[in-house]
Structure 1
Amino acid sequence: MKRSVFLFWLYSNLTILCIPIVITMLVLFQSQHLLSSEVIRSNKALLNQVKQSLDNQFKDIKRMGLQLSLDPKVIKYVNQADFNNSQVKIDTLDLITSLRSYAASNGDINDLYVYMKKGHFGVTTSTMNQDELLFQLLHGGNKGITMKQWSDSMEKIYYGNFLQFADDDMVYMQSLPIQNASEAPATLVVTLNAERLKAAISNIQIAQAGSVLILDSTNKLLMTAGDSDHVSDIDFEQIRSAEGTFSQKWGKEEVTISYVSSVENEWKYVSIVPTKIYSAKVSQLRSWIYAGLFLCIFVGGPMSIWLTRRHYMPIRRMVDLVSPKVKSNLEGIGNEFSLLQSFMSENEALQVTANRTIQKQQDVLRSHFLARLLKGRVESGSALAQSMESFDLRFESNRFAVLLFHIGDYDALFNDNGSRDAESKLQYVYYIVTNITEELIGRKHTVFTTEVDGMIAFLVNIQNDDEARTKQDLIDIAQEAQTIIQGKFYIQLTIGISDIHPLLTGIPQGFDEALEALEYKFVIGPSQIIPFDRIKRPKNELYYPLDMERQLINHIRTGQYEEAMEAVSELIVTNVSDGTLSLQLGKLLMFELIGTILKAIEHLDQGPNELAVEKHALIKQLTQCESFVEIEDEIYKFLKTVCDYVDSKKKSHNTNLKDQVLSYIDEHLADMDLSLTSLSLKFEVNAPYLSRFIKEQSGETFIDYVNKQRVQLAKQLMTETDDTITDITQKVGFSNSNTFIRVFKRYEGITPGQFRKGDQP
């Protein structure tokens, strides 16, 4: 272990030293590539300059050939049929003059002539000669073409083409007239000044450094500028695309060949540059780089060793100092850094454990102090100030309020099938509620949190003097916290909010107010926000008149659930509508309502065990209710059960009464004294009730039901007997025939006489 870090650092420094060496080599190779690319790019640029220059010159020649082919004198001359008259000589002189002016306008032209195919002669810029003499004068000095080849070329059709008759004999040829080139009688020939073109190319830098070639569309060599000794060595088959670059041998040296194509005449311009021209610069760059590498290795190497040794010595002294204090096994430690890390880790772990223990104790003590401060159980004066300083409690103002959170159901938050114990769940809920609420309150005020008697208390240090606005701010904060916590975490919250109090002595009063407001959830139900302002002026009288109680008992006894529920609702609304019902009166109202319902049950005609189970269930549910609203719901449920029971009893009784009443009416239809009064006396039921009962059971009023039954009996008698209408009137209970006839027609649409005759309505 003694030298491991030293060797590691030494290898590291040497590795770092190798980085610039590797980078330098990469730079060398990249520089060579870039330099070569730059030279090639420069060659292409110069070659494009050559192409542009020559293309412009050849374009001028083409333009001149086009102008000459459209010249009226030329057209007139070549279209003549007879060249033996005297006028032809005058026209020839005019043509010579025109040709001379065209030739003088372009310095790249040696001479030009118009060859007449039928006459086998040509007109030049100075004279008119037969074909043999013309060939000898203009092309005879070239060994590359014979008279026969030249004569054959004159007979062909041309559309403005550049040709090479021999090595230094380049011409431009155009059939005349251009309007009828396929049957042209003449050919325009322009001989180019090859030496001048070569001189123009030679003035460009690329030709001075190497050679420039001009090839036709078939890669045939047309012109050479510069060294042409080894042109035959070039593999022209590699020149296929519009432009490109390749390398090959030129005699005994390496050359770079670049080429571009001309759109103007489909020629290719080729540059040949010896590679040694730019490789010399690469060699110079390589020399400088090698010198730098030498310095890196033979100067940087010893420096790395010296610096490594110098930096290692403080580490060595630290290791000698801490190694006796490391508790872990030294044999398992790889190097000095591992030893130091082990020492620091052990110390850090001890420090973290100590800090965590101290922080937990501090949090517990601070929470306990805040709880005592809220309940008013702390010292006063300097002792209080000292305690607050020790617990880092700093109030920025002397105005305080208390928010008290009661946590309700939170089972929906956990879907772990009991994997957490109840205490850890509750701590997690406290953590959620505390963090969200502290964040919301902390935006405007300073807040301190503690747990008091299973509730979460927030001591708010108010930061502004507008009391009304601050109270509304606290309500808004409570609403936002409740919305977030209940909406996202399914934790039910009831929140009590105190008034704002000055000085530290007002904090206990604020806590009592928040606690009292929170207890009021029994009246208005859970998951509410209850400011103390809402309950500090409660009602002290309970509205529960005797006639309302009697009315409720009657509704229950008659099984009228809707009316009974309406009566209960009226009592509740009346008590809470014009003020805040105190907690005590709220409980008293609930007990009074329950007592009234039980009193009504005692007056029902029931067996000893009927509704006993329901009453027992009601008492059990009431003991588990936590709010006025829950008790109210249980009362409504029990009311529904009782009224359904009474209604079922009443329906059973009504069925028997219906059968008896309707049977009695059917049996006494002939009785003229049959009436609601006689029926009520018979069945001991008051007449109004009996009238409603018959309407409910039959769907018709008593009079309609009786009259319809009498009419049906009369129809039966008129069909089955020969009794007179008067006799039938008495048998069906009518006092006179006129009444019977009027009633019969009312229900049947015809008179009894018409019915007996068989008439239909």
Structure 2
Amino acid sequence: MPRYSRVFRNFLFSYIVILIIPSIAGYMSYRTSITVTQSVSIENSVTQLQKSKEILERRMAEVEGFTRQLAINQDLSVLMNEKSSTDESNVFGIWKMMRDVLTFGQTNDFLQHFFIYLNNYNVVLTPGSAYFRPEHYYENYHYNDISFSEWKSTILGKTHRSEIMPLTPFVNKATETSVVTYMQSLPLDSFNGSSPAIVVVIIDKKTITGLLSGITDRYGGWAHITDAQGNTIGLQGIEETEVDKLASDKSFDKEKVSQFYEDDLVITIRSSTNDWIYQAGIPRKVLLENANKIKNITWTVTGIALLVGLLVGFLLSHRNSAPINRLLGVMKEQFGQDVQAERNEYDFLHGNISEMITNNKRLESELHRQAPLVRDAFLKRLIAGEFQSREEIIAAAVQSNAGLNGNAGYVGILQVNGYSLMDSVEVLNELNAARLILKQTLTDSGSSVRMTDIGSDKIVFLFAFADMSTTVQIGKEEISKTLTWVTQQVFDEYRISVTSALGDPFDAVTEVSHSFEQAKQALEHAVHTSKKGITWFEDTRTESATYYYPLDTELRLISTIRAGEIDEAKRILQSIISQNTEHRGLSFEMKHQLVGEVKGTFLKLLDQKTFMESELFESIKNRIIEIQATESFEYIQTEIHDIMEALCGLIMSKKNDSHTKTVEQIKEYIKATYADSDLTLYRVAEQVERPEKYISQLFKEVTGVNLSDHLEKVRMDHASVMLKGNDYTVDEIANRVGYNSSHSFRRAFKRVTGISPSAFRQSVED
């Protein structure tokens, strides 16, 4: 078979196509991601600059508001309107005014440095000082390119109406910086010429550019602010020459909000209040950092994925085609056929595998014929007492399709007589034939009976009825007639002699093994006494030197009490006492040993942690120890009943506490998440870590209400509260209480309250 066969090529081509399709989709997704990431980055940058602009405008508006506050200040008005002489000044008024303006700089960093010039007194008034000679102020604070006389004439000697001087070099107490100056003459209606007072606010460049640090610090870019005439107001991260170059470049569109210029994204925003222009430049590599990461990761992962995919596709093609090629070889070898030119390998396999399936169905039908063996195994385990609980018996019965048609009945044994020596093939064959005849005759009798073999000469049969009353009243008579007819029939036709023996009736499927043991004892008695006909266990009561308390019965009693099933425990105890009182004559010593064994069973039970931690531990233990063998069986049975009820009560109390906690946990979870429309039984079960069916049944048992009804009521209670107000519409309320559809909410509300949501709201309003 060639290594690269047609099957291999078909597989490899399919895998390559599978790789190409998601790769194309991945590339489209990648391009979309890059575009979206770039758009988001640009949008975030524009938003950042917009916020900085808004803050700066708000601060400048506060500066303007500050000058307007001064315009209406009574103390300042008095000072402006006073006529000053050369020797007299209103010192108190000036001091009071200094104190009034002292706090303005604490609320706005743009007002850290300002002064008020009073023309009549020729005094410069600052928040901390008053300069009665302006030249003294000028010595500490002055512009680099403006002399004192120019400063006095252009700034102090003119009228200014919200005038802003662009960025200018400035000396602040021997420290060189650049400032923007805001000037306003007082009163506000001052016109050309000198005015009584001038307010001058000096704003440091660092204060303005600090508002743009969100862009420059985050992206490492630059920021530039100009007024309507193109004069620089603020500058950071870029030189004036570079700004001039950008402004003079004709390829740069000044009207666009965002555009790439050289290696920067330049964002331009114009203020609608004062026509200032805000520009920010962000390096392209920083702006597209996330996009580049996506790009690098995408190409790396895609490349590796394609390489690995091709390698895996090659290996899978070889691995998946190899079995088919081998299968083809086997098929050709076994069936002596070859692939025709017009047929492909799959058609060849289809034809031959179809034939194999047909043969398999024949085999399956043959296996169905073996089902009686499974049922026979179930019956053997049942009579042997290998099942530990009723639930286990029911599960096994369903699996083997071997139902008993009832929970009460009799177990009996039919033994073929006359074969004492069974060591030859001929005898075993005869016994096998005899058993088959007996089974067929029992089946022909018309009774509902289950049968299985034990040994080569015995058949165990089981009659089951719906309840114990039917078993006692009708069952025994019906069984006697059936066995008499079967015995006579096989003897008349086949000369087969049989002995029948039955145990006492069982009233639960867990007691089938006990009835079987009794049937064996009855059979031994019949064989020993050579009794003909049917032998019942109740007719074989003899004096016994031993008591009846087998290990499997003790284990069943312990497991039943540990499960808290008091009724089943009482039934097992009653069975033990009946076996030892009705069918055995116990001596005092045997009774003493039996009572000791039973007491030991209950003392072993007390070693369980649940009982040892209980307050009743010591009292129950003492009651067990105090039981005496000298007492009657009726008294002993009563005492043990009380002890079992106490133990089962403790078990059920523990279970109820656990159930209550689980239900409360469910209620709390529903209370917190009722508004979630995706809240389901599965999510509730996941929250409390229990199966869905379990919590549904548990909630119903503890509260008496279905879990779904409780959830619906919680939702309707909250809806009723919201309907009493007018904050939400009915559709909004439906969404807030966990309904995707307002129609479903309206139906549920009417089902719970009896009226529609609208009618409920109207009744509240009325």
TM range (shorter): 0.3 to 0.5
Q: Which has the larger radius of gyration?
A: 1
> What TM-score do you get using the length of structure 2 for normalisation?
0.36
> What TM-score do you get using the length of structure 1 for normalisation?
0.37
